[in-house]
């Protein structure tokens, strides 16, 4: 992983939540609009990765987000609407960036699970083990694997919904 990717990962981990809360207040509680502004802000941070450090990027990120909200309101006559993104502003790998950002959100939600629940999800969904195989690896009965999986997936779904990640 190059330095740029690592900085963007750190920026996302540290600033995504606070930035989303800030923008959410600016846009009157419109979660989708707030998420769009945060995504665009982080994309712009990616373009300026050589100038930013995760610890000192807050003022820059908040300024960019605020300016995006203001310009969006002006263009749409003061209504909540999508953040205007000019084609020249998009990196050529926009789909990959979206995928990376969603992957980070899933990883963040996984880290929030208890170690037992996280272990079950990793064994079943990432390592593609059966319930019986996961039970053997984890040293617990198959019924425990099923139960932990049920509660882990419910917690993951709730955590991802809070972060604005929904099923497509």
Which pLDDT does position 28 carry in this prediction? 82
Q: Is the pLDDT of residue 73 over 60?
A: no
What is the distance between the alpha carbons of residues 81 and 77, in angstroms, rounded to a whole number?
A: 10
Give pLDDT, residue 98: 64
Res 163 pLDDT > 70 = no
| pLDDT at residue 8, rounded to an integer | 80
- Model confidence at 152: pLDDT above 50: yes
Gap between the Cα atoms of 94 and 116, Å rounded: 35
Stronger pLDDT, 28 or 154, i.e. the higher one: 154
pLDDT (tens digit, 9 = 90+) per residue, 74-114? 454 444 444 444 444 444 444 555 666 677 777 888 888 89
Q: What pLDDT digit, counting tens, does each position of 10-65 carry? A: 888 888 888 998 888 888 888 888 888 888 888 888 888 888 888 888 888 888 88
pLDDT-derived band at 116 (thresholds 50, 70, 90) equals very high
**Contact by Cβ (8 Å): 82, 70:** no
Which of 42, 76, 36, 37 is closest to 57 using CA atoms?
A: 42
Residue 83 CB-density burial (10 A; 0-12 exposed, 13-18 middle, 19+ buried): buried
Q: What string of H, E and C letters represents the secondary structure of 135-151?
A: HHHHCCCHHHHHHHHHH
The secondary structure of 61-91 as a DSSP string is HHHHHHHHHHHHHHHTTTS--PPP--GGGS-
For residue 35, give both structure tokens. Answer: 């998420």
Domains and CATH numbers, the chain: 1-89 (1.10.1740), 92-168 (1.10.10.10)
How far apart CA 20 and CA 62 sit, in angstroms, is: 10
The answer to whether 125 and 131 have CB atoms below 8 angstroms apart is no
pTM of the model: 0.44
pLDDT score for 99:
64
For tokens 């882990």, the residue is 152
Task: Quickly state the pLDDT bin for 132 (edges 50, 70, 90).
Answer: very high
């Amino acid at each position: 992983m190059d330095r740029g990717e690592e900085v963007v990962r750190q920026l996302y981990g540290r600033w995504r939540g606070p930035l989303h809360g800030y923008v959410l207040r600016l846009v009157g509680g419109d979660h989708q609009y707030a998420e769009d502004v945060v995504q665009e802000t982080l994309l712009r941070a990616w373009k300026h990765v050589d100038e930013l450090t995760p610890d000192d990027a807050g003022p820059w990120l908040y300024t960019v987000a605020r300016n995006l909200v203001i310009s969006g309101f002006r263009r749409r006559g003061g209504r909540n609407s999508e953040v205007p993104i000019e084609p020249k502003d998009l990196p050529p790998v926009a789909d990959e960036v979206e995928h990376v950002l969603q992957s980070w959100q899933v990883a963040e939600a996984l880290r929030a699970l208890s170690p037992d629940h996280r272990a079950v999800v990793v064994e079943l969904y990432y390592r593609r083990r059966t319930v019986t195989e996961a039970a053997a690896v984890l040293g617990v009965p198959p019924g425990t694997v099923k139960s932990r999986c049920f509660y882990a997936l419910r917690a993951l779904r709730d955590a991802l919904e809070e972060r604005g990640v929904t099923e497509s």
